[in-house]
């Protein structure tokens, strides 16, 4: 009988694919074998041509729900004879062509076993199966097998081994398999690094009691440590803020179940599906007027009417939440400005200054990751990634095929840093790696790059960076390019934002012109100025800056980003009526100094939409100094949202902000209109709403002038869900709107965009 070889590529390791193939072979009565290799799953079968084709088609059509098949093929092989069907040991070697499997939240089968008193894994904090548990965070080498993960040191007991070798068992070839008899061990420490307990039931009871006493507990999870405390205890939360040096940035909450979330927030079907998905991200939800659980909202999210919630995605959290039965603070375990802690010794040293107790376990983390964060726009339900990390990274499957089979590394930007690796035809977009302004985050970025390169044994043929020479990501890219002896190419920050959207929507080869609206904080422009409010036309594989926010003074540099009052001062320069509103925001000495600076010729100008939002927020919300990025803009969005919630998304009169001379958006005219509204006594919520509405109407005017029908929105400003809804409402009928699908509009998308810029540049050269 003929022999056939089947090759399946994609996310096919760590998802129960080999056991699935085994069961299908048993069902079809087919003999052969299946194995993992660095380039996916390989299968050989002995079957007639008709049987082989039906088996092959069925394999692809009914693949496990956690798998993602990118490529598959069947071809005739040298005839062999097989006895039965078996799973054979994974084979190393060859080029790695795998889609990396992200970490999965606990599945419902494991949850039932965890909470069932008669199950042998009842109460075991590290229960997993082929459908759930850590994946990317524990992989040390490829292909994915236990001996190449941080589970390698744990020897399975006879019962677990029997499950692992039983083809019809849910844990057949489950690489994370363990139980209380061959367990991963918990250990509770005090802040003086003294070991207090190792008995699991005792530890779980003690932690819930300590939460009730107002204590702060650092807990080692799947991707790193979380800092936790009782979310109903305002004093405990304030103490956490003081120790963590986090004055006002919102904290995430973990709830025991969705019914508990509904006590405090409006939870629609889409948000619930996200929370219950295998990725199990944090989801931002509107808070109810009456908080029935008793959470201390004023200390959790000061000034905001929304909360970031998640469910217990790991069995350890499930057990703790089942006992505590009320929400906890669950924020990244780090000191301010540093990356998340993931190693035991580092946590004992670093987090003991914040936590009263630390809960560790002896399964190492190979790749640390923060929790992912998603929000949904309130009217259209558009998902917006604020942070793409655990549960999603590094899988990225855009519709744009690569133009090269080689490896390319793109190092991204500075504040919301990521990198993207193209290797063997697959894209790998790293998890969020933080702002690269400290040595700790720079080292984490460097180590994560090296880890992913080593997993694939990848040698990039070139390195792509931002044009800003001061970014650490740019400097590292140049260093690596020099070390490897390969070329390095730089791409403008905002064009990379736009290119990322084109790549996500498969528009690199679009025959229609596309208008990119890229609004963010700051990025070095091609003219040496600070860009951030840009319109680009993409046509015939070329980008052209078509319009912009007109420049305003940027004399005070990065200090402006921390003090919205300075943005207001700069944006209102030349408007005499602004002094009455701005002068009270400064001391007499400050006012005198800043007036002198304003009277000098500016060294730099900016078109930043992000700084414009800060300026308007200072005037309307009174938030003049911020403790975290985007704080003032969040308050401004919330103010405008309240107006639209009560009055609908339509308004009669936008501010007239398009300059007749240039066709650009005039910051001066826009600020003058806002000041006039305030002087006439218009309600601040109405002014905030009009500001948002006016920007979308300005986009419409620019789009009409450009003569396009496709609009693409990127940049950190489009984390603003209200802007997204207004765009859909007022532009969606006459234009095709493109928003990010699987990446964040913030700087996390820049590294992927750099790859798309490189592809476009290659296409330009081919056409020359």
8: domain CATH number is 3.30.70.100
Query: Residue 87: which residues within 8 A CB-CB, separation 6 or more?
Result: 18, 19, 22, 33, 34, 35, 173
CA distance 182 to 310: 30
Whether residues 366 and 385 fall in one domain: no
Give the residue carrying structure tokens 């219950």.
276
Residue 192 reports pLDDT greater than 80: yes
pTM reported for the whole predicted model: 0.94
Supply the pLDDT for residue 94.
66
Residue 522 lies in a domain: no
Q: Mapped to the 3 state alphabet, what secondary structure does 172-237 carry?
A: CCCCCCCCHHHCCCEEEEECCCCEEECCHHHHHHHHHHHHHCCCCEEEECCCCEEEEEECCCHHHH
Q: Which domain holds residue 39?
A: 3-87
Q: Per residue in 549-598, pLDDT tens?
A: 999 999 877 788 899 999 999 999 999 999 999 999 999 999 999 999 98
Supply the pLDDT for residue 366.
97
Supply the pLDDT for residue 343.
97
Instruction: Provide φ and ψ at 195, rounded to 5°.
Output: -75, 125
Supply the pLDDT for residue 144.
85
Residue 143 reports pLDDT greater than 90: no
CA distance 472 to 493: 14
Residue 93 reports pLDDT greater than 80: no
The dihedral of CA 5, 10, 14, 15: what is its sign? negative
Q: Cβ(297)–Cβ(307) under 8 Å?
A: yes
Q: Per residue in 307-326, pLDDT tens?
A: 999 999 999 999 999 999 99
> Got the DSSP string for 266-287?
---HHHHHHHHSTT--EEEEEB
Whether residues 496 and 612 fall in one domain: no
Give the percent of the chain with pLDDT over 90: 88
Supply the pLDDT for residue 235.
98
Whether residues 350 and 385 fall in one domain: no
Domain count of the chain? Answer: 5
Whether residues 148 and 242 fall in one domain: no
Whether residues 140 and 193 fall in one domain: no
Residue 92 lies in a domain: no
Whether residues 360 and 379 fall in one domain: no
Band of the pLDDT at 404, cuts 50, 70, 90? confident
> Which one has a higher pLDDT value, 219 or 336?
219
Residue 308 lies in a domain: yes
Output b/e per residue, 467-492; b: 16+ Cβ within 10 A: bbeebbbbbbbbebbeeeebebbbbb
Q: Per residue in 6-30, pLDDT tens?
A: 999 988 888 889 889 999 999 999 9
Instruction: Say whether the peptide bond before residue 394 is cis (omega within 30 degrees of 0).
Output: yes
Residue 95 reports pLDDT greater than 80: no
Instruction: Provide φ and ψ at 183, rounded to 5°.
Output: -85, 155
337 in the Ramachandran plot: left (φ > 0), alpha (ψ -120 to 50) or beta? left
Q: Per residue in 588-638, pLDDT tens?
A: 999 999 999 988 888 889 999 999 999 999 999 999 999 998 999 999 999
To the nearest 10 degrees (0 to 180), the angle between helices 493-504 and 750-767 is 90
For 194, 219, 233, the CA distances from 352, given in Å and listed in that order, are 11, 12, 20
Whether residues 192 and 177 fall in one domain: no
Q: Per residue in 735-753, pLDDT tens?
A: 999 999 999 999 999 999 9
Residue 227 reports pLDDT greater than 70: yes
Q: Per residue in 257-293, pLDDT tens?
A: 999 999 999 999 999 999 999 999 999 999 999 999 9
Supply the pLDDT for residue 519.
98
Answer with the one of 371, 400, 419 that is the final residue of a domain. 371
Residue 97 reports pLDDT greater than 80: no
403: domain CATH number is 3.30.420.360
Residue 405 reports pLDDT greater than 80: no
């Amino acid at each position: 009988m003929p022999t056939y070889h089947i090759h399946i590529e994609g996310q096919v390791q760590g998802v129960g694919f080999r056991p699935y193939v085994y069961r299908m072979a048993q069902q079809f009565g087919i003999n052969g074998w299946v194995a993992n290799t660095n380039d996916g799953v390989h299968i050989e079968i002995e079957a007639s041509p008709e049987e082989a084709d039906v088996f092959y088609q069925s394999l692809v059509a009914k693949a496990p729900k956690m798998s993602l098949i990118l490529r598959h093929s069947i071809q005739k092989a040298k005839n062999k004879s097989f006895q039965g069907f078996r799973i054979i040991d994974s084979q190393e070697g060859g080029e790695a062509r795998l889609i990396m499997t992200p970490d999965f939240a606990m599945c419902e089968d494991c949850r039932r076993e965890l909470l069932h008193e008669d199950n042998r894994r009842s109460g075991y904090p590290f229960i997993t199966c082929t459908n759930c548990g850590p994946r990317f965070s524990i992989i040390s080498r490829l292909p994915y097998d236990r001996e190449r993960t941080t589970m390698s040191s744990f020897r399975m007991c006879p019962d677990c081994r029997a499950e692992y070798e039983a083809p019809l068992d849910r844990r057949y070839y489950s690489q994370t398999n363990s139980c209380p008899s061959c367990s991963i061990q918990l250990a509770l420490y005090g802040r003086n690094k003294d070991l207090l307990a190792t008995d699991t039931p005792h530890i779980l009871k003690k932690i819930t009691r300590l939460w009730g006493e107002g204590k702060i507990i650092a807990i080692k999870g799947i991707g790193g440590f979380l800092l936790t405390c009782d979310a109903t205890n305002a004093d405990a939360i304030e103490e956490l803020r003081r120790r963590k040096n986090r004055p006002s940035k919102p904290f995430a909450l973990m709830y025991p179940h969705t019914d508990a979330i509904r006590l405090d927030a409006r939870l629609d079907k889409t948000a619930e599906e996200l929370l219950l998905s295998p990725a199990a991200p944090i989801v931002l939800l509107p808070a109810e007027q009456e908080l029935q659980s008793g959470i201390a909202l004023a200390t959790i999210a000061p000034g905001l009417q929304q909360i970031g919630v998640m469910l217990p995605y790991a069995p350890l959290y499930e057990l703790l939440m089942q006992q505590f039965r009320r929400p906890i603070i669950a924020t990244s375990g780090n000191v301010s400005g540093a990356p998340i802690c993931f190693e035991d010794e580092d946590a004992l040293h670093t987090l003991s200054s914040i936590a009263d107790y630390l809960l560790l376990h002896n399964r190492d983390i190979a790749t640390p990751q923060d929790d992912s964060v998603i929000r949904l726009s309130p009217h259209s339900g558009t998902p917006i990634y604020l942070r793409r990390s655990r549960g999603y990274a590094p899988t990225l499957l855009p519709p744009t095929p690569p133009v090269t089979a080689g490896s390319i590394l793109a190092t991204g930007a500075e504040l919301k840093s990521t990198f993207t690796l193209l290797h063997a035809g697959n894209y790998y977009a790293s998890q969020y790696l933080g702002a690269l302004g400290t040595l700790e985050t720079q080292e984490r970025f460097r180590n994560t790059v090296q880890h992913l390169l080593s997993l694939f044994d990848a040698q990039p043929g070139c390195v792509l960076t931002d044009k800003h020479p001061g970014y650490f990501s740019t400097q590292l890219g140049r260093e690596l390019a020099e070390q490897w002896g390969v070329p390095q190419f730089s791409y403008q920050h905002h064009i990379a934002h736009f290119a990322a959207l084109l790549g996500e929507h498969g528009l690199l080869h679009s025959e229609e012109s596309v208008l990119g609206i890229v609004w963010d904080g700051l990025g070095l422009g091609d003219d040496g100025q600070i860009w951030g409010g840009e319109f680009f036309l993409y046509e015939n594989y070329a980008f052209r800056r078509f319009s912009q926010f007109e420049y305003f003074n940027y004399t005070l540099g990065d200090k402006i980003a921390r003090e919205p009052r300075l943005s207001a001062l700069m944006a209102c320069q030349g408007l005499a009526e602004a002094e009455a509103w701005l002068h009270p925001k400064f001391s007499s000495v400050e006012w005198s100094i800043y007036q002198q600076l304003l009277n000098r010729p500016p060294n730099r100008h900016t078109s930043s939409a992000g700084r414009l939002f800060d300026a308007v927020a200072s005037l309307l919300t009174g938030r003049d100094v911020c403790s975290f990025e985007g704080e003032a803009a969040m308050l401004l969005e919330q103010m405008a949202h309240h107006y639209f919630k009560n009055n609908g998304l339509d308004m009669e009169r936008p501010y007239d902000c398009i300059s007749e001379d240039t066709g650009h958006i005039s910051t001066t005219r826009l600020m003058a209109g806002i000041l006039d509204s305030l002087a006439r006594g218009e309600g601040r919520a109405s002014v905030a709403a009009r500001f948002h509405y006016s920007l979308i109407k300005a986009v419409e005017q620019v789009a009409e002038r450009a003569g396009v029908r496709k609009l693409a929105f990127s940049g950190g400003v489009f984390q603003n869900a209200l802007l997204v809804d207004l765009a859909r409402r007022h532009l969606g009928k006459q234009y095709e709107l493109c928003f990010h699908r699987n990446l964040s509009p913030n700087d996390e998308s820049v590294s992927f965009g750099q790859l798309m810029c490189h592809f476009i540049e290659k296409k330009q050269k081919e056409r020359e």
